[in-house]
Chains A and B, each alone.
Chain A
Amino acid sequence: MLEGLLQGLETAISIQNLTMVVAGCLIGTIIGMLPGLGPMSIIAIMIPIAIKIGDPSAALILLAGVYYGAIFGGSTSSILINAPGIAGTVATAFDGYPLARKGEAGKALTIAAIASFAGGTVGAILLLGFAPAFATVALLFHSAEYFALMIVGLCAIAAFTGTGQVAKALMMTVLGLILATVGESAQFNAPRFTMGILDLQSGISFITLAMALFALPEALYLVLDPKRSSTGDNSSEKKIKGLRISGQEAKKIMPVIGRQSIQGFLIGVMPGAGATIASFLGYAVERNIAKGEDRAEFGKGSIKGLAAPETANNAACTGSFVPLLTLGIPGSGTTAILLGALIALNVTPGPRLMVDNPSIFWAVIISMYIGNVVLLILNLPLIPYIAKLLLVPRTYLIPFILFFTMMGSYIGQNNATELLLLIGMGVVATILRFARFPLPPMLIGFILGQMIEDNFARAMNLTDGVSFMWERPMTTLLLASAFFLLFLPSIRERLSKRKHQIVSKGD
């Protein structure tokens, strides 16, 4: 292994490959900032260039750089304009955007960069040491467990929206799941619930729904209430505050980063789970662990709430390379495209890759780490300039946000019906937000809907019914914990009430 590692190191730190990492990170960051172009589309666009390079190590290093750059770019648009371009950065917007509204966009971007770096670093170290072992464990998870894991994810998000809000969050989750059933299902190629509209046959696109649920209502709120906009005002109090994070804040986010790098990586290793589930679960777990004021701050600009999903999604991205490189199974859409690129480059991923092409295997792993370092070095000095975007006057900023929202949903599908859907769903989302319905559970339900249905179908077919729910101990345990999570807020509320009563009696 050491020999392979050294060979990989030698390949990765050659001038040509270092240039590839830097170029990849830069391209990824810039294009990733445009909502609608996530890592999947950017990597797909870069494949012809990668193939032209010819050398598999250099090409893969370029693509890995683009991957990380795109994820950071996606976080930037989530934080600055509440427009998460990819599913993995939706949770980043929960606390990143409130921070930006408080004038702390610079700090939010710094935390995002550092958390991503830490997540990626820990992920790379774990990948380096335990890649083959993790791959074996990941294969123990069957469709029944995946189904149960996703139900846990949905319940965790609903449960952590706050006391008194659980039913509303569940309603939004079910609505998201219902929307996910529109169009052709993966199991049967028959259209469902399309109301005869041909354009709905391929389903509602994720990006259109994400823009309709987050960016559009926020832009409309900015129009409705000009005082809400902290932009375009040059008075000193509204200026973007410093980028530095204090020692106390660093101390606060350190444990979060530690926990989430490991949890995110482990979730990323499981094929099919990926960065999205990792970021949502990371956010939910940290919110649950937090106590008192810390917890109340979640959703209103908590640095912990920002660091958790950012760390988890980067660690999971690294983790998703484990099944790809060791088993040849792509864990996510992005790694599926990378698999295509690998095959086009005459490299067959799988258990033999480490033996047959050790320099490629290790060079990719090492360049992932170098990619993280480059990303940090490149992005930290750029943050003040990126954050200044928010100082653009609102008469320019709002039309631009609306335009990018529409462009994001249009260029993915090249279909004007998507724009009409976006406007319709955006208006509905604004009304829902107005009535205090939490919107993130709906998007999470939608994202996981397809995966839940596929795994549910597979598990049902295997056991000829729903008996897998109690026949497989791991599935039963996961489903029981999902059920428990739903009642957690009310149990907590009761416990704290009792505590208050005891304290007041004691007085």
Chain B
Amino acid sequence: MPLDRAIAGIFILICLIYGYTAFVPMEEGLLPFELNMTFLPNTLPKYLSVLGIVIGLVIVLQPRYEGASDSDPNEIDQKKLLQYKFSQALFLLGLMLAYALLLRPIGFVTTTTLFLAFGGIILGERRLVILVSISVFTSLVLWYLVQEVLGIFLRPWPWFF
């Protein structure tokens, strides 16, 4: 099954769960005075779930469009998947996840410096002195701009400082 149809199938499943929530638990949770109201918190979700299921079915069932081009140079070619650098992308996603989890405990300046430096290393940068200097400089400048100039609080250092 082509990827787009599989995604449409998953979308139908999401709409079924979404629709069930709108039609059953939300309906049951309504307060007595709400029962006579024209518009309720689940009114739009009800319409959306039905619409979503219909559109999803159209994508799953419609014949493949002949004019669909698979050779758009701006897109990833699904036939040459193995040629792409998936390991680098996965490492970077892992690094982003680590950034999200460590930002609060170890502070903005520390996490940002580590993120920028490790990001560069994952992508193949080997001039470590330049890389680390730029990372430290950028995180300090941005921290100063955001916290001191704009007044948005960002803890700069780890919690024990």
Contact = CB atoms under 8 A, between A and B. Distances in A.
Interface of A: 31, 37, 45, 98, 101, 163-165, 167-168, 170-171, 174-175, 177-178, 181, 185, 187-188, 190, 192-193, 220-221, 223-226, 300, 393-396, 398-400, 402-403, 406-407, 410-411, 414, 416, 419-420, 422-423, 427, 431-437, 452-453, 456-457, 460-461, 464-465
A170 B42 CA distance: 21
B123 A394 contact: yes
Given A98-B74, A164-B67, A398 B21 contact: no
A423 B90 CA distance: 11
Contact of B11 (A171, A190, A422, A461): A171
Nearest to B127: A395
A437 B89 contact: no
Given A167-B59, A435-B3, A456-B39, A399 B93 contact: no
A396 B103 CA distance: 20
20 contacts: A170-B55, A171-B56, A174-B52, A175-B11, A181-B48, A220-B89, A220-B92, A224-B76, A224-B85, A224-B86, A224-B89, A225-B84, A396-B131, A399-B119, A402-B92, A423-B93, A423-B96, A436-B4, A453-B44, A460-B38
A393 B126 CA distance: 13
A171 B112 contact: no
B135 to A, nearest CB: 8
Given A171-B55, A403-B116, A436-B75, A163 B100 contact: no
Given A407-B142, A416-B100, A399 B120 contact: yes
A167 B55 contact: yes
Q: Which of B38, B92, B154 neighbours the largest number of chain A CB atoms within 10 Å of its CB?
A: B38
B31 to A, nearest CB: 10
A395 B124 contact: yes
B123 A168 contact: no
B68 interface: yes
A399 B76 CA distance: 21
Interface in B122-161: 123-125, 131, 134, 138, 142, 146, 150-154
Contacts of A419: 96, 99-100, 103
Contact of B7 (A101, A393, A437, A453): A437
Contacts of A400: 116, 138
A28 to B, nearest CB: 13
A406 B96 contact: yes
B119 A398 contact: yes
B144 to A, nearest CB: 13
A223 B123 contact: yes
Nearest to B12: A171
A414 B75 CA distance: 34
A171 B96 contact: no
Contacts of A37: 150
A174 B3 contact: no
Given A45-B150, A188-B40, A395-B123, A193 B48 contact: no
B26 A399 contact: no
A302 B133 CA distance: 39
A414 B152 contact: yes
A457 B112 CA distance: 44
B33 interface: no
A171 B78 CA distance: 22
B13 interface: no
Nearest to B62: A167
For A101, A168, A461, the residue with the greatest tally of chain B CB atoms inside 10 Å of its CB is A168
Interface in B67-119: 67-68, 74-76, 78, 84-86, 88-89, 92-93, 96-97, 99-101, 103-104, 112, 115-116, 119
Contacts of A437: 4, 7
Interface string B4-30: 100110010011001001000010000
A464 B103 contact: no
Contacts of A225: 76, 84-85
A408 to B, nearest CB: 11
A163 B88 contact: no
A45 B41 CA distance: 34
Contacts of B48: 174, 177-178, 181
Contacts of B67: 163-164
Contacts of A416: 100-101, 103-104
B78 A434 contact: yes
Nearest to B80: A225
Given A163-B67, A171-B8, A419-B103, A395 B92 contact: no
Given A174-B51, A406-B96, A192 B58 contact: no
Contact of B146 (A174, A395, A411): A411
Contacts of B88: 223-224
A407 B139 CA distance: 11
A168 B115 CA distance: 36
A420 B99 CA distance: 10
B11 to A, nearest CB: 6
